[in-house]
Amino acid sequence: MINNVDNLDQLREIIAREPRVVVLDFYANWCTPCQLLTPLLIDMEKFFLNKCLVIQINVERYPRIADAFGIVAMPTICFFYNNTFWKELTLTGAEIGTIYQNVNILLTMHDDGVPKPKRALRNNPEKSLDSVDYNKYYDS
């Protein structure tokens, strides 16, 4: 876990060279859900065995970084993979199960950004890949 990113340029540099899924945790010291989420994020890093990196950004200490992402509530969790910001996966709130799910989705992506279905077409061969709801097909 990294919690000493000083500016947006440094953050961009870390994200650009990082091969793992990067999870940005925007937090405030006074935020109780943020405090409860921190040890869970540490456990999540261990669970994914060096396949994800959590970076904590204190919104009061680094407001310019928070402003760059449009952060208005804490905790807010953002996801990057392959130097791409996955805005549609951004979460507000301490939903650790959804955070795990989003990391898993990113780790199981093809190079073209499409999730690899585990069982998506097994029972519905007539469906195209575009019409499959991938979330219900991921193995736990």
The Cα 77–Cα 95 span in angstroms is 9
The Cα 17–Cα 126 span in angstroms is 40
Please state the φ and ψ torsions of residue 136, each to the nearest 5 degrees: -85, 0
Tokens read off for 72: 């208005």
Catalytic residue list: 31, 34
